[in-house]
Structure 1
Amino acid sequence: MPHRSELYEDVPPVCWPIVYSPDYNITFMGLEKLHPFDAGKWGKVINFLKEEKLIGDDLIVQAREATDEDLLVVHTRRYLNKLKAGKLAVDRGWAINVGGGFHHCSSDKGGGFCAYADITLAIKFLFERVPGVSKATIIDLDAHQGNGHERDFMDDQKVYIMDVYNRYIYPGDGFAKRAIKRKVELEWGTEDTEYLQKVHTHVEGALNELKPDIIVYNAGTDILDGDPLGGLAISPQGIVKRDEVVFKAARSRRIPILMVTSGGYQKRTARIIADSILNLHNLGLIDKELVASEAENPKVEKMIRDTVTDLTNLSL
C-alpha cells in the first residue's frame, strides 16, 4: 500500500519535466565562496536555459517540500533526527533534476556533501507507485564511486548498477563495490577519447544485459578537466557528448530516463550542463513530453507518465 504523501501532484502538460527550486542554491553570509563547490550552480543552469529561450519560470516544475513520512521510505527515523534541511527532487519519464544526485548517501549514513539518498528514494518510489516498473538501472558517471546507492541496493536483484569513476579518489568503498554489476575504474587524467569509448561500450553493454523499466543517470560534471576533486581530464565537449550517448541509448530502447546533475566543482560547470541540455533538445532526445506511442509497452509507459508525474517534485 503506497504511503500518504503530498508530493504526488499533477503537473501541467505545458511544463518541461525539469525540476528546480531557488532554494537549491546555498548561501551562508558569503562563506560559500570559500568552498570549491559552486553553491549557485543550479540557478545558473536555469538562467542559461532561460537566456536560450528553452524554458521560462512558468514552464519549470517547482520542487516541493518532503515530509518525514516521505523520507522514511528510505531513511531511518534515527538518521533523520540527525539532519537539517536541504533540497532534492525526483521526477518522471525523461526528467532532469538540476539539483540532485546525492550518490554518497545511503539510507542510514550521509557522506561527501550528500545528506539525502535521492537516487535510492526515486527508485523506491517508482517501485512502490508504478505497477509494471520492477527493474531499474543506475548509470553513475560522476567522477566518484556512488557508494550510497550501492550500499542500499547491495542484494537487490531488481537494480542494476553501472559505475564509471576515478579509482584513486573518495570514497574508495570496497564493500559497496560488491553491488556494482558493471564497474569501470579510470586512471588519473583520463581524456575524452578513452572515456567516451568506455562510456559508450559499457552503457550499451549494461542495457543489453538487462533492459530496465527506468534509468537513473547520475551525470556529474566533476569529470571536467581541472576539477579539484575529480582528477579526470574530460573537455566540455566530452561531457556534452557523454550525456548524448546515454540519452541516445535510452531513447533507442524506449526506456524512460531520469538525469540528476550530481558533482561538479568549477564555476564553468553550470554553462556546460545548460549546453548539454540544449544539445539534447536540439537532437530531439528531449522534449516537453515523452510520447507514449513510442514506448515498446504503451501501457507501462502511460502508467509511468501518469503516476510518476505525481512524484515530479521531492525537495527538502
Structure 2
Amino acid sequence: MSAVQNRKEDKQPHRTNLYFDIPSTPWPIVYSPDYNITFLGLEKLHPFDSGKWGKIVNFLKEEKMINDETIVRAREAQEDDLLVVHSKRYLNKLKWSFIVATITEIMPVAFLPNFIIQRKVLRPFRTQTGGTIMAGKLAIERGWAINLGGGFHHCSSDQGGGFCAYADITLAIKGNGHERDFMDDNRVYIMDAFNRYIYPGDGYAKRAIKWKIELEWDTEDSEYLAKVEAHVAKALHEVTPDIIVYNAGTDILDGDQLGGLAVSPQGIIKRDEVIFKAARIHKIPILMVTSGGYQRSTARIIADSILNLHHLHLIDQRLI
C-alpha cells in the first residue's frame, strides 16, 4: 500500500494524455478485454493466470453488478504516457525479445519476433498500465477506483522483472519497483505486508518502505488480518495522504507456490474490507490494483471481494 501526501508541483511538469474527463455514469472500475494475454499457449508456461482479468469481469457480470456500459474502458498507455516515468533507453530495451522473455520469465518468448511480443504481451501490459493511470484520476474524483488489472510492482523506471514490464503504480502516483522510484521522495509513504523470505529479496528497495510488516512462512488469517488492521490504523494516524494506492495481490492465498503464506479466500476478502473501511473512515480516496496471485482460483476471489465491498456500501457508483 502506498500513500501520497503533501502534493507539490514537480520542477519539470509531467503530462499524460490519459487524464481526460470520464462520464460520471459508469462505475469507477477500469478494464479492457485487451488486458488478457494469449499467444500460442506460451502464457501457460508461467504460473500467473494471464486471463484472470476477463474472468473477474465475467463473474461480476454474472452477479449483475456490472455490464459493458457501466465500467470504464481502459486505453493503452502510449510512449508519451510512459515517458512520464520510464526512460527512452528502457522502452527501447523492450524492443528486444530476450529482454521481454527475462521480464515475463517465459524464455521461449526470446525466440519470437518482437512485433508479435509487442502485440501479444506488451500491448496488454500497456493497456493495464493505462488503466491504472485512468483509475488514479477516477479515485481522486470519485473517492475510489479499481483497475481490474495492473499492480506491476516489480517494475521500476529503468528495470522490469517478475512479470512486470511497466511501472504503472509509479505512473499513477507521479503524473522492489515503485519502491526504488520513490526512494528519496518524502511525498510517498509506503507500507508493505510481505513474506520476508521470498522474491525479489531486494534489500535496497526495502529501504524505501516506511512501514514494514514482515511475515513468516505459512502465516494464517488470524495473525495476518490482526497485523494488517492494527498497522494500517497506526500508519493512517501517522500520515494523512491525498490518496491510497492499494496493491491488492492474492499471492498470500494458501497454496500459492510463490507467496508462501496461508491466508484463506475469506481472509483476502476481509483484508480488502479492512483497507477500504480505513480509507472511508479517514475520507481518503483509494485506488485498488489487482497485482499478483498464482492460482486459478484468484479471479473468483477478487470478484467476491469486490461484491463484498459493494454489499457493505464501501464502493458504489457515486461515493462522494
Q: Which has the larger share of helix? A: 2
Aligned to 1:151, which of 180, 184, 188?
A: 180
**Please, which runs of 5 or more residues in structure 1 have no aligned partner?**
126-146, 292-316
Q: CA deviation at 1:153?
A: 0.4
- The amino acid across from 1:188 in the alignment is W
Deviation at 1:34, TM superposition (A): 3.2
Whether 1:6 aligns to 2:17 is yes
Q: Pairwise mapping of residues 288-299 of structure 1 onto structure 2 (< 5 A)?
A: 288-291=317-320
Question: Percent of aligned pairs with the same residue?
Answer: 76
Q: How many angstroms apart in 2 are the aligned matches of 1:6 and 1:103?
A: 22
Partner Cα separation in structure 2 for residue 168 and residue 122 of structure 1 = 28
Unaligned 5+ residue runs, structure 2?
A: 1-11, 95-117
**Match for 2:194 among 165, 173, 185?**
165
1:231, 1:237 → 2: CA distance? 17
Q: 1:188 to 1:70 in 2, by over 3 A?
A: same
Structure 1 residues 1-316: aligned runs within 5 Å: 2-3=13-14, 5-83=16-94, 84=118, 85=122, 86=125, 87-88=127-128, 89-90=131-132, 91=135, 92-93=138-139, 94-125=144-175, 147-291=176-320
SS in 2 for 1:215: strand
Larger RCO of the pair (alpha carbons < 8 Å, separation 6+) = 1
2:221/2:267 contact within 8 Å kept: yes
SS of equivalent to 2:209: coil
Listed one character per residue, the Cα deviations across residues 124-150 of structure 1 (whole Å, up to 9, x for unaligned) are 12xxxxxxxxxxxxxxxxxxxxx1111
Cα shift at 1:60: 1.3
| Residue identity opposite 1:272 in structure 2 | I
CA distance in 2, matches of 1:20, 1:2: 28
Letter paired with 1:238: G
1:289 offset after TM fit, Å? Answer: 2.0
Structure 1 position 5, deviation (Å):
4.0
Q: Distance in 2 between matches of 1:228 and 1:59?
A: 35
Number of equivalences: 270
The secondary structure found in structure 1 opposite 2:75 is coil
For 1:263, give the aligned amino acid. G
Secondary structure of 2:287's counterpart equals strand
The secondary structure found in structure 2 opposite 1:280 is helix
Using structure 1 for the length normalisation, give the TM-score: 0.83
Q: What amino acid sits opposite 2:298 in the alignment?
A: T
C-alpha separation in 2, matches of 1:253 and 1:5: 29
For residue 129 of structure 1, what is the aligned residue in structure 2? none
Corresponding residue for 1:312? none
- 1:136 aligned residue: none
Distance in 2 between residues matched to 1:199 and 1:240, nearest whole Å = 13
**Distance in 2 between the 1:267 and 1:64 partners?**
26
For the residue of structure 2 that corresponds to 1:181, the secondary structure is strand
What residue is the counterpart of 1:298 in the other structure?
Answer: none
Aligned partners of 2:288, 2:156: CA distance in 1, in Å?
19
Partner of 1:140: none
Deviations along 1:116-172, one digit per CA (max 9) or x if unpaired, are 0011110012xxxxxxxxxxxxxxxxxxxxx11110000111000001101111011
Instruction: List per-residue Cα deviations over 1:68-117 (Å, max 9, x = no partner).
Output: 11111100110011124223222122111111100011111111111000
TM-score by length of 2: 0.82
User: SS state of the match for residue 195, structure 1?
Assistant: helix
SS in 2 for 1:10: coil
Q: CA RMSD in A?
A: 1.2
Q: Does the 8 A contact of 2:16 with 2:84 survive in 1?
A: no
Range with greater deviation from structure 2 (34-43 or 250-259): 34-43
Give a deviation string over 1:232-252, Cα, whole Å, max 9, x none.
000000000000000000000
